[in-house]
Structure 1
Amino acid sequence: MSQETEHLQNESDSLAAERQQLLSNYDSLTAERKQLEARLRNLTEEKEQLQQSFTSLSSERDEFKAGFNNLKKARDGLQANYDTLKQQSSQLRTNFNDVQRSLRGLQDRQANLIVAKEVLQAKFSDLQKEKDNLQTRYVTVMTNRDQLQSNYSSLKRDSDQLQRNYNTMSRSKNGLQTSYNSLWKEREQLRLNYNSLFGFGFVSFSAIPCMEGWKKFDISCYYFSSVKKNWTESRKACDAQGADLVIIDSMEEQVFINKILNMNQNAWIGLSDSLKEGTWLWVDGSPVTRSFWQPGQPNSFNGNQDCAEFVQKNIQPGGEWNDDGCFAEQAWICEK
């Protein structure tokens, strides 16, 4: 074979090999094109899906952006509220601490008050019992008071009537006493005249002895009781013996009575201001010419001391007067 033919044969083989290679490449490219077409279709579909997703995501993004802006505004508002609430929380914490301390103080006070309440409850129970007791006693006292008021009204009427009778009798008695004194002086003068006329000499009335149990001083006889009566009953006792409560008009008579009385004894004398408060008169109606009142007396204590008493004293010259309630019972001194 010639060289040219060999060359052509080689070239033909080369071309055949190249053709075979190209066919192989073509098949590969065809397969690859098909793959690429398939991938293109897939990518196209994926692109369309992505486009739809992008469109959807864009809408969502816009919505999220709007929501984000709203959330940001809300966050800023919440931040401001948070700051405000934080300040309020701090203030509330401070207030809470103050309230906590106040609460502890109140709890302590509550405990003290509970103790005090229990004490007061016990006292209240005692007071309730005492009140019930006092209520019972009050009812009894009211009943007694009503009875006493009734008795007092009756006694007051009797007292007023007796006072009127007493005043009438006192005036009558004073008149009789004056008449008696005049008759006594007249009798004494007649006795002196009689003695003088018939030569029996002068006989002093001071020499006439007193009845048994009576004490002599100057021209009077005195009786010192050993029992006790009120002022009015004492005067009646004297009157029953033809005398009256003593009238003291000299220091000598005062000293005499003080010596006879028992130590520290009180006794009624014939002096009172029952007719007119503050105007002291003797039982014969005469005013006081010589007095021996204790210091600060008479004071008519409580406005109910209208009768005078002799108070025996172991001092010089001796004895003092004091005003007392006429209803008091004590010894008395008669004079005649």
Structure 2
Amino acid sequence: MEERIYANVSSTELSGIDREENQDTRTKRMQQTVVKATNRRSRLAVVCMGLLCVLLMTTNVVLYMYYINVKEEKNSLAQTIFSLRANFTAERETLLSSIRNLTEEKDQLKSSYQNLTEEKDQINKTLTKERDQLRSRYQNLTEEKDQINKTLTKERDQLRSRYQNLTEEKDQINKTLTEERDQLWSRYQNLIKEKDQIDKALTEERDQLRSRYQNLIKEKDQINRALTEEREQLRSRYQNLIKEIGWKKFGSSFYYISTEQKSWIEARKDCIKRGVDLVIINSREEQEFIKKQNKYVWIGLSDTEREGVWKWVDGSPLTTAFWKSGEPNSNGEEDCADSFSATSLLQTWNDASCSNQAGWVCESTLPY
């Protein structure tokens, strides 16, 4: 019994030990499988986490791009809305102003329509009055026309009778005129005969006059030739005479250049004795001519009447001047102008005392 019990116990113990070993092995296997499963799960988890991270990154990038696009669209929409608001505001103001203008025009049209209506009524009244007046005038004119017709009928009858009388008188006048025409025709023929006789006489006189005219032309040619020869001789004599008496011609004037020296007053008296006066210089060319004489001479310019107001001897004011530098200086009693050609410049005038001694130039527009 004890052996059986021990055997049973040992068998139970062995079976228990086997069971424990089996359980340990199972537990280890289970742990290994759990570890393996855990490793696999952790790997899967890591892979899944990586995928999730990638997805999150992609999602974030997409969302960021979407946000940027949305923001840009929002800004563009805001700008569009702002411009639309501005345009709408401007259009609204324009429409409001146009509505106001149309309202004012409507009021003006109403007032003008009322005025036109009143004017139309007044015109209708006026036209009605004028129509009545015209009707009365038309009746009066009709009556006057009837009276005028009656009067014209009487006058027509009178004119007819007068026409008959005039016709009779015309016939008598025609007879008288026919007789006078015949008489005039006979007179005309007589006049033609007389004209023929006069034409013959005039022809003879014309021939005589032609011969006389030709003779006169020949005589005129001879006289012209003789006058031309005499004119040329006189010209040569005149030029020789001018040279002998000291006159020089320049342009349309003649100039006497003195060989003596006198005061300005005495020089002018000498020119006046010659029937002329001291020279009046009116142009640059005339100044150049005087300068070329290379002499110290008086000219016909002074301010004796009023200091500083220079006048020529004919009373005309000075317009074209050829004063030296610093002249006129009115140093003392220097009231007369002279020309001294010692300089190469065209400006040769100087104011000097009228009592100084100098030559002079007389000017004449006619031969001496």
> TM over 0.5, yes or no?
no
Higher helix share: 2
Under TM normalisation by the shorter chain, which class is it? 0.3 to 0.5
TM-score of the superposed pair, with normalisation by structure 1: 0.36
